[in-house]
Chain A
């Protein structure tokens, strides 16, 4: 109508079925000459949406208020493309909607206010809403991570330029991926759910809510194995051979503190600490060091010879006497470290004792024997091995799982060193290397070499099904590679 002022305040919400053009609602303005033409004129000028957008319902939605001289508000469609109705008026800063306006909208929408809760949220875009992508984002959390954040703990994303990023909490590691969605995700502070509104005692009837931002992608996390192979690699760069070794006097050799390791390894702190213990690493003057194997064996020999000469039981080795007797030979911290690696500490009558582990000592002795040859005659090895361990300890082949492999098909039967930590970390590469070593494996033989690949709730059986093919040979189930190994 003449004299009316047209205010453009709303953003364009584009939701439309592809190919159908815009859905136009008839309204007062559209019926007027001139404007009607404009409203019907424009076919969809946007390019045809992609296949993915096909899923989204797209329609043009505008909201425009026209003030008549009488002060009542109407909702009308707007003319089509810019320029069709002349230069568009300058947008005014958004004014806060009033309850009367909301009620008027409800009336026109033919919604019965009695069926609605009294509170309305008037949603608008906050000042930072159009901020550049990357300034804010959504992270999908597993319940464990959510609890950590609520307790005030931080999370860390770790990765090199050429690595896949991982997210670490204090004790778990997660793969990080970006998930795209064709839907729009708006994040809204201060927006209440119906349950929350109904629990409130006083009901205000209008809440002006600002949309903080929006996104059409989010970060997705999935629990994964920590990437710990690098840890051993770093620590092996400079093994510890004792305080008197030449290496210790030269400070140019790489050494790593806990912080240094956290900076380089894609794993959580607790997982790194656990692995350091598995590697028998020792914190010497603030740096984590792996002992050179011969040095470690030298320490162990001192201990076992002392146990033998004192006729102590293996389950009750007193710390204080060890330090006293062996102190002149080696640093006390190293003797204590050796006892910790090969035994379990306990206190009795105020004295510290260690219960030595026969399994660990036999295993270390086997490694010492096996690493000097490519392969051993099995029978000969078993004899020498039994003779080399401290008297009273019994050797068993199952102590060597993940360390050595027996070949029962060769004549004579042989045994050779095969350490699981020398094998690749990636699942497919691990299986490739195992199958290139030996074509067919029984489950008993291969299990120790793939046990560490099992993720949460994943079994050896599942891994074998995925990465190998099974067959029966001489009544025994064996596994081989799914594809030819070059």
Chain B
């Protein structure tokens, strides 16, 4: 299949709208409002997505990855520069500069359908992609910080500072912050769910309630598990808000703006439904609708069926992965503990050692091992906060996606039921005509009119929700890919930092060891 010939590189606009980048092509279509049900327009988007992904995972296609020149520090470093730069700016690592004379770019393989000269195309589309993404984030940065315990005893709670930075005119200020407690976050979710779920929106879910965790905090336990619990929750709340503001529809919701801006929020009640178990129940009820349908839906295109299956599968897989990562985290924590104990023994041995140089070396080594303990601890935190929580988040989010499909099913059912009712009304009218009862006929006719309009309404609703779900899912997948990529990148950075720290420790110790005599 030949792609349309590329116009001169000077003309960027036509290029963009013709071929576009895979992902933003989808976006473009939807934002313009043209509903593309059925299959996407043939080869072009498909092609570009391949190109995109080939970029991102280039080294998989080639066994010897060419040394790529680093776009030094500066502005956009590809995908991870989006979403919350400020918050992760400390994650920036000084990487040794590679020789800038890079050989072939790890771009798309010519075997794919590109013609020569697309290398330039590649760079441009990266830039364009970043612009698109910058637009996507809608220029809102949200952070959740400073967890503080308020009050005492069993009525105590944690207050978090929610800070927003935005140039959007809809906000009163450019930067502002408010204090919120956990139930406020749950309350926001509930309001959004009620309003939006009927539309088929995928609403990011908040972290779960935890009676055990919170009780420890309330009681005043200052141990590491409480600290970890609070940090875990803070990070989860932050991700939750970040996902909400990344969503174009939700950002425009007045409840969201109120949550971010308003000084005092009325206390949210009725958040019981949103405990972990309750949330799951709600989701399952919605997605059960898909499975237990009495009237089998005849999908004109299999997109929805296929996608739903995919989502279910993925959710299961992520669950399994999460368990495995959990085990990794636990072993690392164990290593932490073992290292600390080892360090103590080493110190004791150093103290009882006669030989001066050996004694000093052993004591130094004990200190190094203490630092190693810290390193292992940080590593465990990385594993947890980056990998494990990522997987946990997406298990929940995929559940939400399943719920959306369920909503669509409900809409369809409502439409179908309305159609049956209409049918019955018509039959009833016919019967009345036969039986010649003019007085009841008027009522029957009114009924029919009412139900006809309902049928039309519900059909429209169903179409609309189908479009929304589709758009939401595609957007979700896009976000997910970005999210995973960003997290992996962060994880790699922490790995690198960890090794670099380790090298420093041991290089400092080596002369001590050599000085033993």
Q: Is B truly associated with A?
A: no
* A contacts, CB < 8 Å to B: none
* B contacts, CB < 8 Å to A: none
